[in-house]
Amino acid sequence: MVGGMRTTIELPDGLAEEAQWRAHETGRTFTSLVVEGLRLVLADRQTDATVAMLPAHGDPGERPLIDLSDRNAVDER
């Protein structure tokens, strides 16, 4: 990679080992695997905003928006 920025990152041991193994198995470099992963995450940022999330708070009347004990209500969200 010409003109790339050099940086150091700390990865959990298991993740680093798995990434190194995957890079070796696919004939790639560790760096190319990390670059591809970052590009995928950054490209996905547009879809992050459209993902429906369960509400974290109730309405002003203190009523919960979802009854987590009601599986059908949870599945409908």
pLDDT in tens, 11-66: 888 999 999 999 999 999 999 999 999 998 888 766 555 555 555 555 656 666 66
Dig out the tokens for 59 from the structure: 């309405």
Query: Does the residue 2 lie in any domain?
Result: no
3-state SS, residue 65: coil
Query: Does the residue 4 lie in any domain?
Result: no
Residue 60's pLDDT is 55
Residues contacting residue 9 through CB under 8 Å, at least 6 positions apart: 34
Cβ pair 55, 68 in contact under 8 A: no
Residue 41's pLDDT is 87
Count CB neighbours of 73 within 10 A.
Answer: 12
Domain count of the fold of the chain: 1
Query: Does the residue 49 lie in any domain?
Result: yes
Query: Does the residue 3 lie in any domain?
Result: no
pTM flag (> 0.95): no
Residue 69's pLDDT is 72
Range of the domain at 22: 13-76
How far is 36 from 40, CA to CA, in rounded Å? 6
Residue 2's pLDDT is 63
Query: Does the residue 8 lie in any domain?
Result: no
